[in-house]
Structure 1
Amino acid sequence: METLDRIMRQVKANTKHSTSRNSKADYNCTKCRDTTWIETENGMRRCSCYEKSISFRRWERFGVNPQKVKSIKSYQDYNEVTKKAKSLAINYIQNFQAIKHEEENGLAFLGQPGSGKSHLVIGIGANFIKGVICPNVIYMPYLEAMKELKCAQFESDEYFRLLNKYTKADLLIIDDLFKDKVKNRELRENAELTEADTRCILPIINQRYINNKPTIYSSECTPNMLLDIDEALAGRILERSNVVVFKYGLENNYRMRKFK
């Protein structure tokens, strides 16, 4: 009760003094005046900026600042597959409110390293967070997140907290899926999922599949490589995603184009 009273005092104080301030210049959010609370006829409610600020902190925890990432507009489409990928990304942003209710409501950018897959998936997510389309966007860099989940398996509360974060996100972005299973365009020996891998990634992909929650993937795996790693998971990913495959070859490696 004391906390609520303090919040209400802060909201009223900001409202009282707003006439002497240039709100656009002085507040990050002009709706709540940076309190993250809005007073309505039915009481106090969280401002939309609150969820957005949480998403920002979660991304920054993995070293990604949504305000500073490359935009989709800056993605260089220099051949047919890159043109298709950029077009799909733009369409996804523009029509997400309709797409999210469809069965095929995800994206998967697969194949050649250096083709800009992470550029696209991160750019889509950052666009959503900075706007109002879908502020609850969770960025999940596969290797870092899996390490965190495996460590948390021995602390059930933390393990389930992390799982819930990924399974319940309005939009989940899994970047570099199965990165540790691929080397030099081929699957490593014994690339199948370990028991620890399965315990961490299966609940996330499976729950999102069951509940038809949109997920965006990037991976160096091709569809066939995904099937070789785990057919059940691959089926869930490919069924629900609009897939772009960058065939292996330097022609699809944007980073190496300047050396041609």
Structure 2
Amino acid sequence: MENNICPVCGGLGWVIRKNGVKKCVCKYSEITENIFNRMNIPKRYRDKDLSNFVPDPEAGHEFILMRIEDYINSDDYEKGKGLFLVGSPGVGKTHLAIGILKEFFRRKGIVGLFYDTRSLLFKLKSSFDGSSSAREILEEVVDTPILVLDDLGSERLSDWAR
């Protein structure tokens, strides 16, 4: 889009069809961007989802993808049950976790929350300087229906974080 004007709708947000009008794809992009912001999905992962994950048969990804599908189709999240993805760096854990968040939104309209554990700890610690409330941060984390804590356990824990 040049000059932030959509070439499809000319900036109106609607496309005129023979049988009426249809919301332009640019409006869906804005909605998607807002949802990604609300879910705290990092920009570098916004294009990642389950459909573009390339499974490695040697890493057992087919089994993992089946378990993920079972989880998304179940009501386990309502019971507080989750998934714990473990593996070496670079095997796709974050890609899959982002894909799970997006699928819950697409299929069930559920808006989850993504946090890199180190960022969350930093945000909590900095809340003590008065910039925000640790209670508000924790309520957001605890109250979200689907929570992704990325790199949980990989951070070096200070006495405070522990």
**Fold-level match, TM-score > 0.5?**
yes
Q: Higher strand fraction: Structure 1 or Structure 2?
A: 1
Structure 2: 5+ residue stretches without partners: 1-18
Query: 1:6 maps to what in 2?
Result: none
Query: 1:58 maps to what in 2?
Result: 38
Query: 1:197 maps to what in 2?
Result: 161
Contact 2:53-2:96 at 8 Å conserved across structures:
no
* 1:161 maps to 2:153: no
Aligned-residue CA RMSD (Å): 3.1
Contact 2:49-2:100 at 8 Å conserved across structures:
no
Identity of aligned residues (%): 20
Query: 1:23 maps to what in 2?
Result: 22
Q: CA deviation at 1:159?
A: 1.4
CA offsets 1:157-185 (integer angstroms, 9 cap, x no match)? 5211111110100110111102224xxxx
Counterpart of 2:36 in structure 1: which amino acid? Answer: F
Contact 1:138-1:171 at 8 Å conserved across structures:
yes
CA offsets 1:94-151 (integer angstroms, 9 cap, x no match)? x14x222446x2000113222211111111112223x151432001111122111111
Tell me how far apart the structure 1 counterparts of residues 67 and 25 of structure 2 sit (CA, whole Å): 37
Tell me how far apart the structure 2 counterparts of residues 151 and 144 of structure 1 sit (CA, whole Å): 10
Tell me how far apart the structure 1 counterparts of residues 110 and 79 of structure 2 sit (CA, whole Å): 19
Of 102, 117, 122, which aligns to 1:142? 117
* 1:85 maps to 2:61: no
Tell me how far apart the structure 1 counterparts of residues 115 and 69 of structure 2 sit (CA, whole Å): 21
Contact 1:142-1:175 at 8 Å conserved across structures:
yes
C-alpha change, 1:151 and 1:21, in structure 2 (3 Å) is: farther
* 1:100 maps to 2:77: yes
- Please give the TM-score of this superposition, normalised by the length of structure 1: 0.46
Larger Rg: 1
Contact 2:68-2:100 at 8 Å conserved across structures:
yes
CA offsets 1:21-62 (integer angstroms, 9 cap, x no match)? 613337847xxxx9xxxxxxxxxxxxxx7xx87642234574
Contact 1:72-1:120 at 8 Å conserved across structures:
no
Structure 1: 5+ residue stretches without partners: 1-19, 35-48, 182-192, 199-260
Tell me how far apart the structure 1 counterparts of residues 35 and 24 of structure 2 sit (CA, whole Å): 23
CA offsets 1:183-235 (integer angstroms, 9 cap, x no match)? xxxxxxxxxx544214xxxxxxxxxxxxxxxxxxxxxxxxxxxxxxxxxxxxx
C-alpha change, 1:77 and 1:89, in structure 2 (3 Å) is: farther
C-alpha change, 1:74 and 1:159, in structure 2 (3 Å) is: same
- Please give the TM-score of this superposition, normalised by the length of structure 2: 0.70
Alignment of 1:146-225 (within 5 A): 146-155=121-130, 158-181=133-156, 193-198=157-162
SS of match in other structure, 2:50: coil
Query: 1:233 maps to what in 2?
Result: none
Contact 2:116-2:151 at 8 Å conserved across structures:
yes
User: Relative CO higher for 1 or 2, CA cutoff 8 Å, sep ≥ 6?
Assistant: 1
SS of match in other structure, 2:148: strand
Counterpart of 2:50 in structure 1: which amino acid? Answer: S
